[in-house]
Each structure stands twice: as structure tokens, then as C-alpha cells.
Amino acid sequence: MKPHRLLVAMAAAVLMVAAAALLFTGRGGVQGAGPGTPLVGELRGALVGGGSTFLNPQMQAWSREFYRATGGRVTVNYQSIGSGAGTAQLIARKLDFGASDVPLGRDRFEELGGRLYQFPVIVGSIVIIYNVPEASYASTGKRIRLSPEVVALIYMGEVRQWCDERIRRLNPELADRLPCRDIVAVHRSDGSGTTGAFTLWLSRNYAPWASEVGHGYTVEWPADKVARGLGAKGNEGVSQVVLRVPYSIGYVEYAYWSLNADRYDEVGGVAEVLNVNDGEYYFPSPDAVALGVSEALRSYAEEHGAYPSASEDWGPVTEALVTPPRGYPITAFTYVLVWRDYSAEGYADPATRASLIREFFRWVLTEGQKPENVVEGYIPLPPEVAGIGLKALEGVRG
């Protein structure tokens, strides 16, 4: 069985054990997370959300299952438009909820006067995919290894060919298979939480990237100016461009790779990534991803003692997820953003809208975390984290 076929079952077990060991204060505990979590009853209506393409495969599965669980009374239309657009359209009152892989920072919360809640709904990982036929996994049985420094130098346009000595040194067993062909550095063209998490990983692990490029929904990609950079829209776009364009490299949420794993292995594959904290290279396998997440959260707990509330800055948690002491090093929560008071924000039929928001996300944070409702490539939330969203939903009104 391929590694990605085991992800949900194995990772869920590892994370639940790890989460149970964390000693967070004051904000833990999932209320109403057991069997019999109430659904909508006779409430009817529709929600429109949008944002993170990282979340899209999982959100579509949740939407379908919730529609079935409510007997077709409630529909959730999720638009995979990117984290930046989802956040902007929620603030413009064009969506009922938004989703982002990078949380709103403290300053942005203050600008909005504390009118929003944000809380995690799932865990995912970002993988680095490549198209190098001469060194494909199918032809060599080996995967290219990459460090954050070398990845940063590729996107900075300083490492321009696959035969560059800095790549060869990381891959002695593939050195003779790495061609002297120009690297096409594929990145997101839209405002992206995946880009936010990816560039945060580069920033926290390679100082010149932090000082010269930085991190965020969008950045100025040096490779576009001095090498061969290429933008694509959404995780969907990046994954397809890398499949089609020889000698390219890109970054996508795990599920977008796993859906086409065999095709990627024919033309290239998915990279093993260096965790600079323990010096080990990790394939994004179930145990490696789960280890990275649990170690990151353990480290955060030791330093901070408690998770943020749904009204606080989640930036330090996001940073912890890209700098774990051990395990696969590029993971992220996806955050949902909802209004506290839909009436005050001027929405039509605010009472019904608020009720739908509460019931849908209560289901997401309880039934939706069960392995049978989690798409391959994602990991259920630790109970303490799910509890933060459940508590926030009690305060959503219309």
C-alpha cells in the first residue's frame, strides 16, 4: 500500500496520542465532540465560503457529507479562490466565511475591532514536487533531497540548473542523473496561504530569504527576474504545471500530489526535505508528517503554555509548524474566519446565517474530524485545538 493511502488512519492515531499528552491550560476540551453531535434539525439554507485552495479537497468532502447528513436541507458552496481572495471577500461581505492557511495577524485583528473569530479546522502539509525525467522516482527508485537553503536559492534564481553542485552534494546517489537543464521555479500567481506557509518556512530556515524576500500571501519572486520563474493559480494550477513542464519544481498541499502520485513518479517525484533542527531528511509519509506536527505543538506548548483563543494571534503557532524539532518540517493549520455578529455586519437573514455557520462548523470540528470524513493527505485536529473553534462558535450570533 502506498504511503499516502495510510495517512489518515496512522496520523490520526499518532496525533491523538500526542495531543492527549499536551498540558494546555484553560482553553482545551472538546465539548459536544462525541457521537450524537446535533445537526441542523429542520433548519434550511445555504452558505457560501471561499479561500484556501490548500483546504479545497477537504472542504468539498465535508460539504458533500454535511449535505447528506442534513438530508439535503443545507448546502455549503466553497470557492477555491486562494487565501488572500477569501479573506478579502469575507471582509467585503461577499462570503459567509473565509479560509486561509495563514492566520490574520494581531494588527489586522485590531483593524477589524475584534469582529472576527479565526480557528483551525484541519492540519495539512506542503510538499515539494519536481519534474526531472532523468532522475524520476520511477527510473531510479530514489527521491531528490532538498534543503531549505537550496530551495530558497532556486527561487532566488541563484541555483539555476539541476546539475548545480549544491543540489548534487545533497544527492550523491543521483549526482550523475541530474541534468544540466534550467530549473523552472513554479510558484503561485494569486494571493496564497500555501505561499505564506512555504515562504515562512524559507524565512525561518534561511536568513537571506527572510531579509531579501520575506513571507506572505504574495512575494516578489527573484527567479522571475533573473532565472526561469513561472506563476500558476491555485494549488491546482501549480500541480498541473509541474506535471507538464520538464525540469520544473513547485510547492503544493499534500493532497494535490497524492492524487497524481504515480504520474509525478514517472516524470520526477516528491522531494525528501531536510529538517534543519534534527539534520534528517523526511519524505512526507504518515508518520513523518504526524511527528512534525506533534513535535511542533509540543514545542509551542513548552514555550507558551496555551493555545491562542479564536480572537488572538495564531502567528506563533504557524511558525512552530514550520520549525518542528523533529519530523517533516512544512505543515500548516488551515484557519476558518467567521463574523461574531452577522446582523451587525449587515448580512441578509442574519439569524439563519449565524445558525448555519454554527451547525456546519460544529459538525466539521466533531464528526468531520473522524477518519472516514478526512481526505487522504490531511490530519484531524488534536482535541484541544478543535475545542477552541467549538468555544468560539458559541459566540457567533445573528
CA proximity to 197, closest of 102, 276, 129, 85: 102
Rounded distance, CA 365 to CA 386, Å? Answer: 6
Amino acid at 11: A
Per-residue confidence (pLDDT) for residue 37, from 0 to 100: 44
Q: Residues 178-230: pLDDT tens digits?
A: 999 999 999 999 888 899 999 999 999 999 999 999 999 899 999 999 989 99
User: Which of 257-290 are b and which e, b meaning 16 or more Cβ less than 10 Å from the residue's Cβ?
Assistant: bbbbbeebbbbbbbbbbbbeeeeebbbbbbbbbb
Q: Examine the pLDDT at 375 and tell me if it is beyond 50.
A: yes
Per-residue confidence (pLDDT) for residue 29, from 0 to 100: 31
Domains defined along the chain, listed by start: 3-124+306-313+330-393 (3.40.190.10), 126-288 (3.40.190.10)
Per-residue confidence (pLDDT) for residue 28, from 0 to 100: 32
More confident site: 7 or 379: 379
Rounded distance, CA 73 to CA 87, Å? Answer: 27
| 158 to 90, 197, 223, 228, 235: CA distances (angstroms) | 38, 22, 8, 11, 25
What integer is the mean pLDDT of 167-183? 98
Per-residue confidence (pLDDT) for residue 1, from 0 to 100: 43
Q: Examine the pLDDT at 11 and tell me if it is beyond 90.
A: no
The β-bridge partners of 187 are 231
More confident site: 83 or 99: 99
Q: Examine the pLDDT at 33 and tell me if it is beyond 70.
A: no
Cα 297 to the center of its chain, rounded Å: 15
Binned at pLDDT 50, 70 and 90, residue 6 comes out as very low
What integer is the mean pLDDT of 148-156? 98
Per-residue confidence (pLDDT) for residue 23, from 0 to 100: 28
Per-residue confidence (pLDDT) for residue 191, from 0 to 100: 83
Binned at pLDDT 50, 70 and 90, residue 39 comes out as low
Residue 138 burial by CB count (10 A; 0-12/13-18/19+): exposed, middle or buried?
Answer: middle
Amino acid at 18: A
Q: Is residue 324 within 8 Å of 205, Cβ to Cβ? A: no
Binned at pLDDT 50, 70 and 90, residue 141 comes out as very high
Binned at pLDDT 50, 70 and 90, residue 42 comes out as confident
Rounded distance, CA 197 to CA 318, Å? Answer: 8
Per-residue confidence (pLDDT) for residue 255, from 0 to 100: 87
Q: Examine the pLDDT at 356 and tell me if it is beyond 80.
A: yes
Rounded distance, CA 294 to CA 282, Å? Answer: 15
Q: Which stretches of the chain are DSSP H helices? A: 7-21, 56-69, 83-91, 106-111, 137-140, 148-155, 165-170, 193-205, 207-212, 222-226, 234-244, 254-258, 261-267, 286-304, 315-321, 350-365, 383-393
Q: Is residue 128 within 8 Å of 270, Cβ to Cβ? A: yes
Q: What is the pTM of this model?
A: 0.82
Binned at pLDDT 50, 70 and 90, residue 3 comes out as very low
Binned at pLDDT 50, 70 and 90, residue 112 comes out as confident
Per-residue confidence (pLDDT) for residue 64, from 0 to 100: 97
CB atoms near residue 230 (< 10 Å): 18
Q: Residues 309-341: pLDDT tens digits?
A: 999 989 999 999 999 999 999 999 999 999 999
| 92 to 99, 155, 343: CA distances (angstroms) | 14, 33, 15
Rounded distance, CA 341 to CA 350, Å? Answer: 8
Q: What is the mean pLDDT of the chain?
A: 89
Q: Is residue 234 within 8 Å of 188, Cβ to Cβ? A: yes
What integer is the mean pLDDT of 136-150? 98
Q: Examine the pLDDT at 41 and tell me if it is beyond 80.
A: no
CA proximity to 31, closest of 384, 395, 397: 384
Provide the angle, in degrees to the nearest 10, between the axes of the packed helices 56-69 and 350-365: 110
Per-residue confidence (pLDDT) for residue 105, from 0 to 100: 78
